[in-house]
Amino acid sequence: MFPWTPLVVGLRDYVHKNGFRSVIFGFSGGIDSAVTTAPAVDALGPDSVHGMSVPSRYSSARHGPDVTVQPGGTLVLATGNKTELAAQRGVLSRKLSDPGAIIPSMPLLEGTVVMAGNVRPVADERDGLLTFLAQQRYVLRLAARGLNDAQARLTPTRSALSIVGLVKHVTSAERRWMAAVRGSPAAGEDVTDFVVGQGETLADVLTAYDSAARETEEIVAGIPDLGQPVRVPWLPDEVDAWSVRWVLLHLIQETARHAGHADILREHIDGATAVPLMAAAEGWPVRPWLKPRSPSG
């Protein structure tokens, strides 16, 4: 039998012992946070339990939520065994305080709620690889945040690298690797993909990058075994094939390397660096040790 009463009593004692007046639960879209809310409401009362929506921008497109909150604050879980199990525990009848007050933890960024700085816990290997790759793409994109086309084309270091050129290159590289995964003919490394055409804008390049990211997720989602061999499209000659797993790890490595390059370029352009840019994008509060990057600097 589920030890409901000891759980409720223990939670109540812990909260009171530490002098907390209320608790906040973060709903990531899964069942765990929804189920654990129920004993908190029993222990503390609905007026002392608040909900906060914290899905990750890195995976929310791949995972439908297991829990929603109806008007009035009733938790409703997805259909199937999870719903039946939750109903047995009495979860569906539990209430949160302040009806409809499931609030985002951070402001919306391009239509998705962002978690503060870190990749969320991952479900499995595939989820982990795609989620960490998405995070590195996001950090690379942050280097372009707030720049106009002229600034994005600047090459402020001794190299010929620009932020928009880096994004264009990584887009091209990701598409080449996904072509190899599909078994399609793929060209080798092309140094000219760092070069941005006269008519190309930063917005165009970022849109192409987003499209490449979606293509990668769709391709990988359709591969049952990440150990599936991928024929080596170019050097080294002594290797016949890598795996889809290796390709994803390589893309994470490649994207992270160029995100670091972009961070250096951005700092040379206007002094902005990755963490203050992220703080501004995600609406972090001002801290003694961190000031979100404002448009004026």
CATH of 119-282, one of 1.25.40.340, 1.20.120.450, 2.60.120.1310, 3.20.20.120: 1.20.120.450
> Taking a C-beta distance cutoff of 8 angstroms, is the pair 112, 135 a contact?
no
Per-residue model confidence as pLDDT tens digits over 198-219: 889 999 999 999 999 999 999 9
**Residue 209 near residue 110 (C-beta atoms within 8 A):** no
CB atoms within 10 A of CB 209: 20
Query: Is pTM beyond 0.85 here?
Result: no
Counting as low any pLDDT under 70, the low residues of the chain are 1-2, 25-35, 50-116, 185-192, 233-235, 296-297
Q: Rg of the chain's alpha carbons, rounded to an integer?
A: 23
Task: Please give the pLDDT value at position 86.
Answer: 39
